[in-house]
């Protein structure tokens, strides 16, 4: 059965039992698995629903939608502690370096958010932010009912966690309503604007002070910053990029180029060579993503000559070790 619902707000809300009937859901655990599959699975309807969910928390839509349902890989490391819970839905946005976790209230509890699920999302959010340091992690609690004040207040105060109420209507439409969202939207907007301003400033330094011929493209909505020449004609998606997030400076190639370049390469050896040359530890997301980036701790507010030199040397050495040094040369 296909998801019969569309994202619009009209008419009266459906009862919980009517929602189960519309989705033709049966046994308890199967209900939850099937619901997530139908509502947010890999399909155009699923992508539309997920982007509607992102809109409700004030975030940009995702373009490449590759949902992982019933994911256990995210929390494999905890198996030694006999923690065998699954994550209902995990979505990686490689372009924006964002990771989304969606945890749904149990249908056996009539879709109401409870203490058990509250504990689970706190743990899963902590695990995800620990394992995926190079991604910005967003965790969404999804319920068919209003949240209790104790659950709602904690989630509302926590960074990048959201309490979202899903309502269905008689005319086969639905609405995501995220509680206490305006403050988080404003905070996210300020952070995004700051990241973009920082990227523009460092891009200007690279061209005016270092003499790099940066291709057209500038800084995109995700903060990806085009540096150096294109490695393929005038295509801005090919070549080197920076992104400044979470106190790090990251350098990488466009996705298709990166996958080809690092296929079957000894990435640890490259990391070690760059670390040795710089005299600081260089980190990588290799192992967590096919779109490889290298990164270092970096203060974008520090415009000292020493800090400028650090970013220039880091970028240049990355390009040299990966065969792209010509992209930074005039």
Regarding whether 70 and 43 lie in a shared domain, the answer is yes
Specify if 280 maps to a domain: yes
Q: How far is CA 68 from the centre of its chain?
A: 13
In whole angstroms, give the CA distance from residue 82 to residue 85. 9
Specify if 5 maps to a domain: no
Give residue 324's domain range. 187-328
Average pLDDT, the chain: 85
For 178, list phi and psi in degrees, rounded to 5. Answer: -100, 125
Specify if 318 maps to a domain: yes
Regarding whether 114 and 157 lie in a shared domain, the answer is yes
Regarding whether 201 and 288 lie in a shared domain, the answer is yes
Reported as a single tens digit per residue, the pLDDT across 123-163 is: 889 888 888 877 889 999 999 888 999 999 999 999 899 99
In whole angstroms, give the CA distance from residue 99 to residue 172. 29
- Structure-token pair, residue 282: 């260089």
Select from 126, 154, 179 the last residue of a domain. 179
Regarding whether 238 and 92 lie in a shared domain, the answer is no
In angstroms, the Cα distances linking 218 to 163, 241, 322 are 35, 10, 22
SS3 content of the chain, % helix, strand, coil (to 5): 45, 20, 35
Enumerate residues 6+ apart whose C-beta is below 8 A from 204: none
Specify if 2 maps to a domain: no
Matching residue, tokens 């409700």: 56
Strands 136-143, 98-104: pairing is parallel
- The structure's pTM equals 0.74
Q: For residues 127 and 77, is the Cβ–Cβ distance under 8 A?
A: yes
Specify if 317 maps to a domain: yes
Q: What is the DSSP string of 16-61?
A: HHHHHHHHT--SHHHHHHHHHHHHHSSSHHHHHHHHHHHHHTT-PP
Reported as a single tens digit per residue, the pLDDT across 158-213 is: 989 999 999 888 877 889 999 889 888 888 888 888 889 999 999 999 999 999 98
Question: What CATH number corresponds to the domain at position 304?
Answer: 3.90.1150
Specify if 268 maps to a domain: yes
Averaged pLDDT, 5-21: 65
Asked whether residue 262 carries a pLDDT value surpassing 90, the answer given is: no
Select from 130, 153, 179 the last residue of a domain. 179
Q: Give the total number of structural domains in the chain.
A: 2
Regarding whether 299 and 201 lie in a shared domain, the answer is yes
Select from 133, 155, 179 the last residue of a domain. 179
In the sheet with 67-71, reading across from the earlier edge strand, the strands are: 67-71, 87-93, 98-104, 136-143, 161-168, 174-178
Reported as a single tens digit per residue, the pLDDT across 61-113 is: 998 899 988 776 665 544 444 445 678 899 998 878 899 999 988 887 778 89
- Structure-token pair, residue 33: 């698995």
Specify if 8 maps to a domain: no
Question: What CATH number corresponds to the domain at position 26?
Answer: 3.40.1350
Matching residue, tokens 């707000």: 9
Report the DSSP beta bridge partners of residue 162: 140
Reported as a single tens digit per residue, the pLDDT across 105-121 is: 888 777 889 999 999 89
44-56 and 28-40 are packed helices; what angle lies between their axes, rounded to 10 degrees? 90
Specify if 3 maps to a domain: no
Regarding whether 59 and 138 lie in a shared domain, the answer is yes
């Amino acid at each position: 059965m296909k998801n019969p619902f569309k994202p619009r707000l009209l008419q009266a809300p459906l009862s919980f039992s009517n929602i189960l009937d519309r989705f033709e859901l049966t046994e308890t655990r199967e209900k939850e698995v099937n619901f997530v599959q139908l509502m947010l699975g890999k399909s155009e309807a699923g992508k539309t629903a997920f982007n509607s969910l992102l809109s409700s928390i004030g975030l940009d839509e995702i373009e490449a939608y590759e949902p992982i349902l019933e994911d256990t890989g995210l929390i494999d490391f905890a198996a030694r502690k006999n923690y065998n819970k699954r994550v209902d839905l995990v979505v990686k946005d490689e372009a924006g370096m964002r990771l989304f976790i969606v945890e749904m209230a149990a249908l056996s509890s009539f879709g109401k958010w409870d203490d058990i699920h509250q504990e689970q999302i706190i743990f899963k959010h902590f695990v995800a932010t620990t394992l995926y340091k190079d991604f910005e992690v967003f965790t969404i609690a999804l319920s068919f009912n209003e949240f209790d004040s104790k659950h709602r207040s904690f989630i509302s105060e926590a960074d990048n966690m959201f309490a979202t109420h899903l309502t269905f209507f008689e005319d086969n439409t639905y609405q995501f309503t995220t509680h206490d969202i305006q403050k988080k939207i404003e905070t996210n907007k300020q952070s995004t604007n700051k990241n973009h301003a920082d990227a523009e400033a460092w891009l200007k330094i690279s061209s005016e002070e270092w003499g790099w011929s940066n291709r057209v493209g500038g800084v995109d909505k995700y903060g990806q910053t085009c540096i150096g020449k294109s490695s393929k004609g005038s295509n801005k998606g090919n070549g080197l990029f920076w992104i400044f997030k979470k106190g790090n400076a990251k350098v990488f190639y466009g996705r298709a180029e990166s996958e080809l370049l690092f296929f079957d390469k000894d990435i640890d050896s490259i990391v070690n060579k760059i670390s040795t040359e710089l005299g600081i530890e260089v980190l990588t997301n290799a192992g967590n993503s096919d779109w490889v980036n290298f990164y270092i701790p970096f203060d974008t507010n520090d415009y000292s000559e020493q800090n400028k030199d650090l970013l220039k040397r880091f970028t240049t050495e990355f390009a040299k070790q990966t065969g792209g040094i010509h992209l930074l040369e005039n």
